[in-house]
A and B are shown apart, each in its own frame.
Chain A
Amino acid sequence: MTFHRVSFEDDDLKLKIGFIHFSSCSGCQVAFLDMFEDAVEIFDTVELVYSNLLTKRKEIPYMDVAFVEGAFCAEDPHHVKLIKELSEKAGMVIAIGGCAAFGGMRRFSCGSQMPQPSHQTFIPLTEIESIKRKVKFAIPGCPPNPSLLYNFFLAFLERNDDFLLPFEFIAQSRDASGFDLIKEVVNKGFCVGCGTCSTACPSRAISFKDVCGKPNFDADLCVRCGSCLAACPQSFKPYPQPVYT
């Protein structure tokens, strides 16, 4: 009997991930790097195949999971090419941050300004038919917290469905902003006045109204990242109840 030595590279077993950048400030990728040593721990278990900030690759290779930040601009030929490549080369898409998930700051853009006066349309990935079925999860925030990204990565690698379930809901939702917080929680009689939305808001659009013990929403400051609704204990709760020590 002869034994054949089977050799393969370790990298073949690793999950191939990439960061794709559409129209955004790159803050979501920076938030990922803000995980510091936790990011190193993540990179030990996955293979980063593409990132405009972290790799030198020009061509987008095949990847199992694409973490996508930013909104799609229909007038940008680079974006059009990118979205086609993404639908062909990504096994799954995870929308990171308000711009990719709900439109974010781009919801306020009317375009036609320098340095790109031709850019006028900004659409979140969760609304694009060709890629929508691949967007399994959306992570809210502007940018999402490094600790949220780390927890999400761990849950994703461990296939912790209980943790991931709310992010699946969020991916199916087209909108989330301070307006939704008022509409979904306060107007439906679920606001307990805990103040979690206020602390989650990155732009201080939500303050606290002492008279009624409810959040006070300033639409001018809202960047539509969805953090407030995601953080609200009445929108979804850990399920099953985790043990806190």
Chain B
Amino acid sequence: MLELNSRFLIGSYKKAVEVESRTGNNPLEELLSVMFDSNMIDGILSSRIEGEFSVPFLVVKGDRVEVPSLNRFFGSVALLKKAIQKYRLSRIAVVAPSCAIDGLNKTQYYGIGCNWVKTAVALKVGILCTGSLTGKALTAEVLHLTGKEKRIKRFFYDGGLFYQTEEGELIPVNLSVHHHYINAACRYCLNLSAKGTDITYFPLKEENRAVFIVRSERGWRVVASVQKERPELFRFRRLKKEDLEGIVSLLREKALLNIDDILERVELGLPVPKWNDNKLRKFYRIWNAVEDYNFEEEVF
């Protein structure tokens, strides 16, 4: 039997910290810039917004570090081969939500697709994601929420999901409305907090504040080295379990919407990819089982 507790929703982690950048920049961008300067990484695989599109983006210079400011993360892994084989990068940081990290993890585990990925990735930063949107879908969602067309500058979590317009207006996002507009596959995602990563990142209301959920030894080592390298740039505050309650309840609300869709899909008998081993049906069985289940052994 599955419980939608923090162990399931956030997963296991070492420490969670709230990071404030003293320069006023995005803390993750600042962290990656410091890593660039101190040769801890030699490239960043991410995506950025160009007009209304999200395009994969490979950063090879420290002064061009950019982290996506909207939940539009498409195609970041597409540049992996270019990064490794053309630019010969060997210490890449990847900034992406769980779905892209899944692709990367799979490439590392099996070795399908792109050679030498196993040793070329220095850091995996997962973005806590409640669903990815295309430019058109975001426009339609904002129209649905506010009745007006507005240009959105960034998203953040502050007890709920919010959009900030270019004029500075904050729009609280109703998750069931958001669920309607997100990418179809995001409706079946149960790894909203990007569990297979070194650090899970999510932005807060102030642009220079964010939360890092550090999961691996490597992630913790990175945070410690950056703090040692440039102590004047950051202020860290360790978060207790209670401090994450807000984000856990947000994830729970979204996970329930996703679970509804998974159960409905299985009951309707909609097809799944042929090599998928029917993961959704597996989840359906576990969700309806009365006995205790070790969900960490499963991949949905």
Contact = CB atoms under 8 A, between A and B. Distances in A.
Interface of A: 140-141, 144-152, 163, 165-166, 169-170, 173, 180, 184-185, 188-196, 198-200, 208, 210-213, 227, 229-242, 244-245
B299 A238 contact: yes
B75 A193 contact: yes
B74 A210 contact: yes
Contacts of B103: 194-196, 231-233
Contacts of A191: 183-185
- Most A CB contacts (10 A, CB to CB) among B72, B103, B110 go to B110
B298 interface: yes
B72 A213 contact: yes
A222 B299 CA distance: 30
Across the A-B interface, the 8 shortest Cβ-Cβ residue pairs: A200-B113, A195-B78, A196-B103, A213-B74, A147-B111, A192-B99, A148-B111, A195-B75
Contacts of A192: 99-100, 132, 183, 185-186, 189
B75 A244 contact: no
Contacts of A212: 134
Contacts of A245: 216-218
Nearest to A236: B275
Interface of B: 50, 53-56, 72-81, 96, 99-100, 102-118, 124, 132, 134, 136, 183-186, 188-189, 196, 216-218, 270-277, 279, 296-299
B273 A234 contact: yes
A152 B186 CA distance: 31
A200 B110 CA distance: 12
B154 to A, nearest CB: 19
B272 A151 contact: no
A170 B274 CA distance: 9
A180 B276 CA distance: 13
Contact of A231 (B79, B107, B276): B107
A152 B77 CA distance: 23
A146 B112 CA distance: 9
Contact of B196 (A140, A200, A244): A244
B273 A194 contact: no
Nearest to B82: A199
A190 B196 contact: no
Contact of B112 (A185, A230, A244): A230
Contacts of B117: 147
Contact of B184 (A146, A173, A189, A227): A189
B196 A166 contact: no
B276 A238 contact: no
19 contacts: A145-B113, A146-B111, A148-B111, A166-B275, A188-B270, A188-B272, A188-B273, A192-B183, A194-B75, A195-B56, A208-B74, A211-B134, A213-B132, A233-B103, A235-B275, A236-B275, A240-B297, A241-B299, A244-B216
Given A190-B185, A196-B77, A196-B103, A234 B276 contact: yes
Contacts of B50: 210
Given A199-B79, A238-B110, 18 more contacts: A145-B112, A147-B117, A147-B118, A148-B111, A188-B272, A193-B183, A194-B100, A195-B78, A196-B78, A196-B80, A196-B103, A198-B78, A210-B55, A213-B54, A213-B72, A238-B299, A240-B297, A242-B105
B132 A193 contact: yes
B194 to A, nearest CB: 12
Given A188-B270, A190-B185, A147 B115 contact: yes
Nearest to A214: B74
A231 B100 contact: no
A244 to B, nearest CB: 6
A188 B296 CA distance: 26
Contacts of A242: 105, 109
A145 B115 contact: yes
A237 B75 contact: no
A76 B275 CA distance: 33
- Most A CB contacts (10 A, CB to CB) among B74, B81, B100, B114 go to B74
B118 A235 contact: no
Nearest to B98: A192
A212 B132 CA distance: 11
A151 B110 contact: yes
Given A188-B272, A194-B100, A195-B79, A169 B277 contact: yes
A59 B153 CA distance: 69
